[in-house]
Structure 1
Amino acid sequence: MYRMINVQQSDQGLQRIIWRESENDPIQTFELTTVTYGTSAAPYLATRCLQRLAEDGDKSHPVAAKVLKKDFYVDNMITGDSSVKEGRSLIREMNNLLDSAGFILRKWNSNFPRWNTSAIVTKRVILSDASKLFDPLGLVGPVIVQAKIFIQTLWKLNCKWDEPLMKEFQDFWQEYRRNLIALDSLTVPRWVGPRQDCVSVELHGFCDASERAYGACFYLRCVSSDGSVAVRLLMSKSRVAPLDEPKRNKRKESIPRLELSSALLLSHLFQKFRSNIPTTTMPHFWTDSKIVQCWLASSPSRWQAFVGNRVSEIQHITRCGVWHHVPGTENPADILSRGMTPVQLQYQAIWFDGPLWMRQETPTWPVNDDVNFEQFESAVLEERSVVSLALQAQPPSELFSLYSSFPKLIRIVALIRRFRYNATEINRGSRMIGLISTEEYDKAVIHLVQLSQRESFSQELLDLARNDEVRESSKICSLRPRLVDGIMHVGGRLRDAPVSDSRKHPMIIHHNHPLAMLILAHYHTKLYHAGQQLLIARVRERYWPTRIRDLARKLIHGCISCFRARPRPLDQLMADLPAERVTPAPPFLHVGVDYCGPFLFTYANRRSSPKKCFVSIFVCLVTKAVHLELVQDLTTEAFLAALKRFVARRGHPTVMMCDNAKNFVGANRELDELRRLFEGQQFQHVITRETAVERIEFKFIPARTPNFGGLWEAANDITDITVVGIIYNLQ
């Protein structure tokens, strides 16, 4: 449409294009003279031209001009008329009006059956006709599946899209078109749901397959309170059988596989609408294939991939229901898998109302026989072949189980190697005697590691000897191992690091080999039962056991010495907090008091000796706020003076709690003075008398119960540390 509208010559320069076919050709300049698709003004220009055309043809073509103004969306016309005669007149008038401006209407279509009947039948026409059959619920699924099968036949013959078909195909489709008129007289109940008097609502699904197609359908069975049973078709779905593809070496599916595909289609259909159907019993699924029944009655792992994957999905979706076997003549899905004309479908009560036995009592239903796997061969059932091979794993050498000490094992291997060296005829003149040398120890260690690698990494050693690299499937591929003198070392990127070769490229040891645990146990003992991180760091300076963290954790967890050194503490079950601690109150209304010190101070006169002073700590039992007062000595008068200063600053408390004197028994000399202060009857009487006058209840905690005063004891420790630190910094 856009290319039929010219642009004014003054605006054509805005649609200039620079072009050349190749790099060697000169650059050419073109200007687009018509409206270009993609520009911002293109939709407006096209619509405005149509509106102007309608205005110009308002008198010559009044009906077409009216439709052109109201029933066009860009270049699409959607309109209608009251009769076929008036519709044809509108088409002639619309064509004349638009042809005058160079616009030609194409692809006419109508909902009138005889309107679109094309005399020449092509594959495009057939696909267009089949797409017009709108049946989302599949109520006429047997009719539509005939069109699907016919289109697949044309596809298999590689027919061209616009090439007329053979006469027999054209005759078939013309007959199919005529039969569609019978659908006008087909009636289906609009309401299929349960009524208010229904006492039981059941869902029954059927599936079946043929060589050409397979399908599934569902029925709703409602039992009323008076015993009457109503069965209605709910929905159906069909698919054509897949074709064989010789180029892809894909053969046509067998009938049992198609039956299984229909059961999977039934499961998917059930999954879509099961939450919208208010059933009262478990759903029932019916198939006329004994093989499918055998497949669904066993574990998916028993069957080959094609069958096993579909059986697993079907069992998962339909786990809330039960599968039954139904004879093929009583399976309504058989009609769906073979197809049927509309005239024939009208007289098939089994399709719309289900089998006759569904309207009867449950005992009259088909008997569900036990599944018998023996009646089918293993090839028909596509049973997975199980191959059992007796694999004999190479056990570690007995040498590693002789001793539980790694140094002792090294010494024994060194002695064995020395004996072998001395027993050789050629070495009789240079026998090794005396203590074992460091070189002999190192060679013994290398011999043990090499033996363990042969037992654990035989394939990796072979790959490194052939290709200088291990396979990607190897568990040590990420270590990039390298082979040096017959021993695998870790590759890594530390080749230029200024450290020893043993630290840059440790020797690899498998975690399941006994040598790995011997090495870790030796280093664990050598490092005085070190923790996991230190143990791993020291071992990796020379060795690289795989999964070393698991080994270290297992070793430390099983070490008796480590277990004894780290006993599990017992948590003391504490009593409930007193009411003063949990009752909301203003700050310092409930107070705990304690002394901190002594601290030494001197007067301004340098000749005076240092004197002792103390700090009285008042702790709020609710907010844990702390108030400090300096006390000159441990006399009752000094404490009362500090208490009065506290009251003057913080207000009158109602409850004050203090340590009992027995808490300080056995303390040092300074604390002994505190003990005597709190122990004295005179002190307690005076303090109690003075606080009673001020309406303060003074309480002493029980003897030998320091946990009762944990709050002020903690404040005491913090104050002591803080004051000492400050004094130290001042000095």
Structure 2
Amino acid sequence: MKQNLSKLEQIRIPRWTVNYHGRIELHGFSDTSEEAYAAVVYLRSVSDINGLELNAVVLLAKLMKRIAEPLNRFQIEKYAWTDSTIVLQWLSSHPRKWSTYIANRVSSILEILPRRQWGHVPSLQNPANCASRGITPLELVNHSLCWFGPIWLADDPGNWKRNVPDEAFDYNTPEIRQPKRSDCLSPSKLHDARLQFARMAQFEVYQKEIVYLVQHSEIFPKSQIAELCLLLDGDGTLRALGRLQQSSYSFEVKHPVILPKAHWFIRLLVEELHLQNCHAGPSLPRRRQASDKQLCEMLSSKS
């Protein structure tokens, strides 16, 4: 044993691990015997290929926008394709579900190309692979996939297999949550349903404002609601920051929901509250006798 110790001089352990994406894994192993116990740890560098795929999709969205601008005199239908199913999953849900890095890029992508314009293409039929994986100049000259795209692109669009994710996760609608079934609707479920419809109204009328707010933490100056101080709560509901922030009222009362007054749901909501309160006038929300929930809803309807 002692005679072999000199062999240890031949061992070299690198102190620097190549990693350009900030993610590593530590794998530990342990064992024991009557003579000794030991532990070994290995560091594994991980390449985040999905994050790189997302950057490629951002590049594609910007490129399609740039190409479409000088062609605006034509009626353009846009179709975007990627072979990354993970990226399509990110695009199928609201950006607030993901980390900041992913959410910012998903928002910028969907602002240019809505989710319904995205589809899945197999890797072998993806012409962008020619550039990402590399081909020789000799191969490029007669590379049909590179110059003409996949063969099915020449077929009728009805024959394309786009494999679009479930419509239930459309970016233009609030995320759909499946509640547990019961024999009757409780007041809390009815209230949650009203908020869900409120988010739907917001997305239909204030979609640009919401996307801009996610990206810049403010509303763009030309918006009709630019004069308001706004926030997005944990459920993605657009709310106002008013003078009641320091009060003892509930969160919903202090931060009323922003609702577009011309939307059909808002008209139904105001009519419902009007009938529930026996045709009361607009001064009712200011009465202290009103419950917090009614106060919140009535103030929201006036916004």
Q: Which has the higher strand share?
A: 1
TM-score by length of 2: 0.40
Asked which structure has the greater CA Rg, the reply is 1
Choose between structure 1 and 2 for higher RCO, CA contacts under 8 A separated by at least 6 residues: 2
TM-score by length of 1: 0.17
